[in-house]
Amino acid sequence: MPRFYLPALPESGEIFLSDKVLRHIHVLRLRVGDALVLFDGAGNAVSAELVSLDKRRAVCRIIGRADGAAESPLNIMLIQAVSAGERMEFTLQKSVELGVNAIQPVISRRSVVRLSGERADKRQARWQEIVVSACEQCGRNTVPPVLPVLELADYWRNAAPVPHLMMSLNQARSLKDLDAPQSLALLVGCEGGWTAEEEAAARAHGCQAFTLGGRVLRTETAALAAVAAMQTLWGDFV
């Protein structure tokens, strides 16, 4: 069933859909009488019926609350070093499908892309749109936030008080040998990986290095493989 993000979500009545949703409806070739789901990104969703549609507007009638249980019991914040081009967008899209709860983009020593000011704000907004689209596709009613871009050193100054796990081949343990957490922060490097100084700083903040095996994974592969492994060990992958 088609799903659309609507931040201001009423509980009943008829509602005019946004121009963005209208364009999507036309792309999907929906018709009056078709059913759809609207969700607000905060965990709430309703089922609705399309009651009016033309080139300029779409109106739906809310039928009732929609059931949904797509959130994992494992809370993962992805601390992702910014990668270039489509790699970052792919990582964010697929990590949301796999159940990540928040994304903190960071600039590391080897990051090719350097973002700050208005450019960083625009990129953050673009990434948030990608996350919303991923939630529409995968059935999640809670939209993970994409936080403002930080330098890695600045992240450590106010790091969340949860276990931090860093993908690395140095002084690393297997995931299956770690204690099962309920919440964690996963650090994944950019194309060139972490520097020795960055890994040392992470360990100084209590971060545990882990590995998924002897093969070196590309940045976009690493994040997704790690999240999938964590969901298998500690989350809702069965």
Tokens 């650090």, residue located: 187
Mean pLDDT across the chain: 90
Those residues whose C-beta lies under 8 Å from the C-beta of residue 26, and which sit 6 or more positions away, are 55
Tens digit of each residue's pLDDT (9 = 90 or more) over 119-176: 888 989 999 999 999 999 999 999 999 999 999 999 999 898 999 999 887 878 899 8
Tokens 């809370």, residue located: 75
- Residue 44, token pair as written in the block: 């709430």
Task: Give the span between the Cα atoms of 94 and 71, in whole angstroms.
Answer: 15
Ranges of each domain in the chain: 3-65, 75-234
Rounded to the nearest angstrom, the gap between the alpha carbon of residue 143 and the centroid of all alpha carbons in its chain is 8
Provide the CATH topology of domain 3-65: Ribosomal Protein L25; Chain P (2.40.240)
- Residue 70, token pair as written in the block: 């797509």
Provide the CATH topology of domain 75-234: Alpha/beta knot (3.40.1280)
- Residue 156, pLDDT score: 94
Average pLDDT for 63-74: 86
**What DSSP assignment string belongs to 31-46?**
-TT-EEEEE-BBS-EE
Those residues whose C-beta lies under 8 Å from the C-beta of residue 177, and which sit 6 or more positions away, are none
Task: Give the span between the Cα atoms of 132 and 135, in whole angstroms.
Answer: 5
